[in-house]
Chain A
Amino acid sequence: MSPSESDLTKALVDEVRQAHDSGTRLHLIGADTKPFLGLSVEGRRLSLREHRGIVHYEPAELVLTARAGTPLSEIHHLLAAQGQWLPFEPPSFGSSATLGGTIACGLSGPARPFFGAARDFVLGVRLLDGRGRVLRFGGEMIKNVAGFDVARLVTGAQGTLGALLEISLKVSPKPSASETLTWEEGQKDAVRVLSELAVKPFSLSAACHDGERLFLRLSGTEAGVRAAAKRIGGDRLADPDAFWRSLRERTHPFFSMPGAIWRLSVPPATLPLAPGAGALLIDWGGAQRWWKGSAEPAVVWEWARSMGGHAALLDSGRCQMQPLDPALFALQKRLKAAFDPKGILNPGRLYDER
């Protein structure tokens, strides 16, 4: 077996079984590029990084199956060679990011409002649960309604319901043409302008406002993109890929300003723009807002909830999620126990479960 491919299922099963029997807490990681997306976990580190390799990829079936430790970059290269891509444009936060970590964190990039989220593309998973059993949910079919949709449930659960061993994703042909338009626009008007544009049948694939300018990406066929660009107007951005990458990877200068940052996930046309004063970067056509303002967390959470969304606070290398309604939290704890009765998998990563 080449170093780019190894199946460690048996060893991983043994590790989790032992941990289950001895009640040892495990801290599941891939390449450990995203510790800041949740709370810190106390436990023995169990890495899935060496459990890697493409299991199956058939471009005509629009499906790719790979082991969790497969580097995301390897998948991007493989797809690009066939003119395909992952339309949810997952951020990687470092060149070593793995597929498993990406799906466990449920990460989606700038195209999310237009092409869908990570979970929308997950068709099946092989999951190692807290009892040390390997369970297979979903498959490689785009349409599949047999059994509960556990593959989507575990997407974004950050390993708290099980270790992802293998993931099947729907992949898509990459649009042949793309162009980014930009113009100056006040931030107050940005949300309205973005909402008005989103109702029109342009082939939008990303839309953001960086505080001063609007940026709109069109993706589709040559003629379609050209026609839409002509109707919308604005300046053509010279290096659009670099711009959208900076937004996706959070390397845009906005993110390097000191201090805590809030992620506000709200309906796209929500006004006011944020719970208070502070710098604001608007992405996802208005539905994802990065806000650097100071407010009591409880106030921000209440604001986000009243707007129909939720907020998360990224501070000092940790991420605190919006507290859940008690009945919903109780249900989540019961679900967690259904997959991980001893609470050994990434305990406390999403919420303090004690």
Chain B
Amino acid sequence: MQQKQTDLQQEPSGTEFASCPPQEILRRLRRAVPDCPLLSHPEELRPYACDGLTAFRVTPLAVAIPESVAQVQKILRVCHALRLPVIPRGAGTGLSGGALPRRDGLLLSMARFRKILALDPLNRTARVEPGVTTRAISQAAAPHGLFYAPDPSSEVACTIGGNIAENAGGLHCLKYGLTVHNVLSTKIVTSDGELLTLGAEALDSAGFDLLALFVGSEGLLGVAVEATVRLLPRPPSARLIVAAFASVDSAAAAVGRLIGRQFIPAGLEMMDNLAIRAAEKFVHAGYPVDAAALLLCECDGPAEEVDEEIALAEGLLRDAGAYFLRLSCSEEERLLLWKGRKSAFPAAGRMAPDYYCMDGTIPRRAMPEALRRIARLSEEFGLPVANVFHAGDGNLHPLILYDASRPEELTNAERLGARISELCVELGGVITGEHGVGVEKLDPMCIQFRAPELEQFHRIKAAFDPDGILNPGKAIPQLRRCAELGTMHVHGGRLPFPELERF
């Protein structure tokens, strides 16, 4: 993606940060953690200027790359004393700009925390450092017949620390849940350098469920320095059905029929025609390119169970109007059929110089309407949009194709994205299902929530981080921003969708 050369206005965090000359900040940090790499030359800082949301770039004041919990604590104590913003970063694969630096802040890279500390097959847990990749946990667990369930698309690169910050999902979270369902405990360093354990190695813990609050908090409440995750027995069998439909409506109706009947598929994905054609051209998975929509339904578990569920799903899909069905009969075939879906983004990306991946969730019943209206918006803005859904949980990922070298196109793509976010809320859904708010969705947050809820979020933030130094300006917009946006958005004296409750 072409970068939006931005001298991005720093989002006000509601806090005044003390001004201290950069040289003095670096001196204090070096004195506190002499063994910790501390980057401050512009050349060294450049690779950290953005995360997976590459349209936004900011060069940080400095980058610290600690390798021990004690170093993280010392760094935070210095930052706390100086009231210096700290932006934690895992692998930098996030798509909402959660790890976007600030010019006045320290970027805290957790990349050197790469150890799997313990693997306990009897208790079915892994204790890992936050920089361990999601995939690596499953690989380490494999010899014991176990795996770590959440499988975000970037699992080869993304890390468990980032997964916790974003409450990452994946292709199979319909059955196995999100990160919040699969983490038992995490050790965090707070804004003043204190080490706390949230959750327990048991199935619950005493007091408030701070672990659930922490997961998905986008680095605003603390820095995760260790996690204990739950491992599950690897299902011995998995089979996939690909079903093609002549209309989006019938595919969407089929999703409703599949779900809620005796079993939950391990994964249930939907692709629209543009995504199907792009994927097929790219990997030749054998998808019917004339289909208006494709459903991919996977069942996994003990072989007897899988065969029974697949037979049931096949019947339901046929009844729902599927005109083409293909069942995987071997592991090779299953992987090939998945490959089309998994490469849908890069494939669609080849159809245009740049693409912008959106994220939102809607009730399943609203899928046909959502797709119709996204198609209309696509026409209105003159930008093609390919749709890939986690259909089982109503999580849509419209992919906006554009060319950043053409004037106005990036801005147009962003405006189209904002309209899609508004559409999700209007249809009773939410502005982000798994990518997070970061900096990308701050404006849509003003549509999603009313002032009292936003105020409450800021109070929660303050309970953890009274000085507001941790990832300031991300995830929760300032009320002032929403008020200004509100005046921008008022049409004829009305807010957009006044009839809607802004939960």
Chain B neighbourhood of A266, CB < 8 A:
201-202
Q: A116-B181, A223-B307 are in contact. Are A143 and B203 (CB under 8 A)?
A: no
Q: A129-B456, A136-B501 are in contact. Are A200 and B123 (CB under 8 A)?
A: no
Q: A145-B167, A199-B144, A308-B201 are in contact. Are A58 and B302 (CB under 8 A)?
A: no
Question: Interface readout for B297-333 with A: 1 if CB under 8 Å, 0 if not?
Answer: 0000110110111000000000000000000000000
Contact A124 B503 (CB under 8 A): yes
Give the residue name and chain of the A residue nearest to B503 (CB).
A136
Chain B neighbourhood of A325, CB < 8 A:
196-197
Contact B123 A269 (CB under 8 A): yes
Q: What separation, in Å, do the CA atoms of A138 and B503 have in the docked complex?
A: 7
Contact A338 B433 (CB under 8 A): no
Q: What separation, in Å, do the CA atoms of A150 and B434 have in the docked complex?
A: 16
Q: Is B178 interfacial (CB-CB < 8 Å)?
A: yes
Contact A334 B463 (CB under 8 A): yes
Contact B209 A201 (CB under 8 A): no
Q: A220-B301, A221-B262 are in contact. Are A328 and B122 (CB under 8 A)?
A: no
Q: What separation, in Å, do the CA atoms of A351 and B400 have in the docked complex?
A: 51
- Which of B9-17, B106-114, B274-282, B359-367 lies at the binding interface? B359-367
Interface residues of B in 211-261 (CB under 8 A from A): 212-213, 215-217, 221, 233-236, 256-257, 259-261
Q: A198-B233, A287-B203, A338-B462 are in contact. Are A221 and B448 (CB under 8 A)?
A: no
Contact A332 B208 (CB under 8 A): yes
How many B residues touch A, CB cutoff 8 Å?
97
Q: What separation, in Å, do the CA atoms of A331 and B194 have in the docked complex?
A: 11
Interface residues of B in 157-183 (CB under 8 A from A): 166-167, 169, 173-174, 177-178, 180-181
- Which of B56-64, B68-76, B387-395, B491-499 lies at the binding interface? B387-395
Contact B259 A62 (CB under 8 A): yes
Q: What separation, in Å, do the CA atoms of A224 and B304 have in the docked complex?
A: 5
Contact of A339 (CB < 8 Å), options: B207, B233, B456: B456
Chain B neighbourhood of A228, CB < 8 A:
302
Contact B215 A149 (CB under 8 A): yes
Contact A338 B460 (CB under 8 A): yes
Q: Is B132 interfacial (CB-CB < 8 Å)?
A: no
Q: What separation, in Å, do the CA atoms of A202 and B233 have in the docked complex?
A: 9
Q: Is B204 interfacial (CB-CB < 8 Å)?
A: yes
Q: A146-B445, A267-B201, A310-B206 are in contact. Are A328 and B196 (CB under 8 A)?
A: yes
Give the residue name and chain of the B residue nearest to A270 (CB).
B123
Chain B neighbourhood of A62, CB < 8 A:
259-260
Q: A135-B452, A338-B459 are in contact. Are A146 and B431 (CB under 8 A)?
A: yes
Q: Is A265 interfacial (CB-CB < 8 Å)?
A: yes
Chain B neighbourhood of A119, CB < 8 A:
209, 212
Contact B432 A146 (CB under 8 A): yes
| Nearest chain A CB to B32 CB, angstrom units | 21
Q: Is A335 interfacial (CB-CB < 8 Å)?
A: yes
Q: A59-B260, A152-B213, A155-B209 are in contact. Are A195 and B180 (CB under 8 A)?
A: no
Contact A176 B207 (CB under 8 A): no
Contact of A309 (CB < 8 Å), options: B202, B221, B256, B429: B202
Chain B neighbourhood of A58, CB < 8 A:
363, 365
Interface residues of A in 292-318 (CB under 8 A from B): 307-310, 312
Contact-residue bracket for chain A: 35 or more
Q: Is A35 interfacial (CB-CB < 8 Å)?
A: no
Contact A135 B448 (CB under 8 A): no
Chain A neighbourhood of B401, CB < 8 A:
none
Q: Is A102 interfacial (CB-CB < 8 Å)?
A: no
Question: Interface readout for B384-415 with A: 1 if CB under 8 Å, 0 if not?
Answer: 00000010011100000000000000000000
Contact of A116 (CB < 8 Å), options: B177, B197, B208, B309: B177
Contact B208 A143 (CB under 8 A): no
Contact A112 B203 (CB under 8 A): yes
Contact of A146 (CB < 8 Å), options: B173, B196, B428, B449: B449
Contact of A141 (CB < 8 Å), options: B260, B262, B263, B361: B361
Q: Is A4 interfacial (CB-CB < 8 Å)?
A: no
Q: Is B146 interfacial (CB-CB < 8 Å)?
A: yes
| Nearest chain B CB to A86 CB, angstrom units | 14
Q: What separation, in Å, do the CA atoms of A322 and B221 have in the docked complex?
A: 24
Contact B263 A221 (CB under 8 A): yes
Q: Is A142 interfacial (CB-CB < 8 Å)?
A: yes
Chain A neighbourhood of B201, CB < 8 A:
266-267, 307-309
Q: A139-B503, A338-B456 are in contact. Are A152 and B177 (CB under 8 A)?
A: no
Contact A145 B437 (CB under 8 A): yes
Question: Interface readout for A212-235 with B: 1 if CB under 8 Å, 0 if not?
Answer: 000000001111101110000000
Contact B394 A335 (CB under 8 A): no
Chain A neighbourhood of B236, CB < 8 A:
201
Question: Interface readout for A127-140 with B: 1 if CB under 8 Å, 0 if not?
Answer: 00100010111111
Q: What separation, in Å, do the CA atoms of A182 and B503 have in the docked complex?
A: 48
Query: Apart from A59-B260, A195-B123, A201-B236, what 7 extra A-B contacts exist at CB < 8 Å?
Result: A133-B452, A136-B450, A141-B429, A176-B262, A199-B233, A202-B302, A338-B460
Top 5 A-B pairs, shortest CB-CB distance = A224-B305, A308-B201, A136-B503, A309-B202, A152-B212
29 A-B interface contacts by CB (under 8 A): A61-B260, A61-B364, A83-B260, A116-B181, A117-B203, A117-B204, A120-B180, A138-B503, A143-B169, A143-B395, A145-B434, A146-B430, A147-B449, A152-B213, A155-B212, A156-B209, A195-B123, A199-B121, A201-B145, A201-B234, A201-B302, A220-B302, A269-B122, A309-B200, A321-B206, A321-B207, A334-B464, A337-B463, A338-B462
Query: Contact residues of A with B, CB < 8 Å?
Result: 58-62, 82-84, 106, 112-113, 116-117, 119-120, 124, 129, 133, 135-150, 152-153, 155-157, 161, 172-176, 192, 195-196, 198-203, 220-224, 226-228, 265-270, 284, 287-288, 307-310, 312, 321-325, 327-329, 331-332, 334-335, 337-339, 350-351
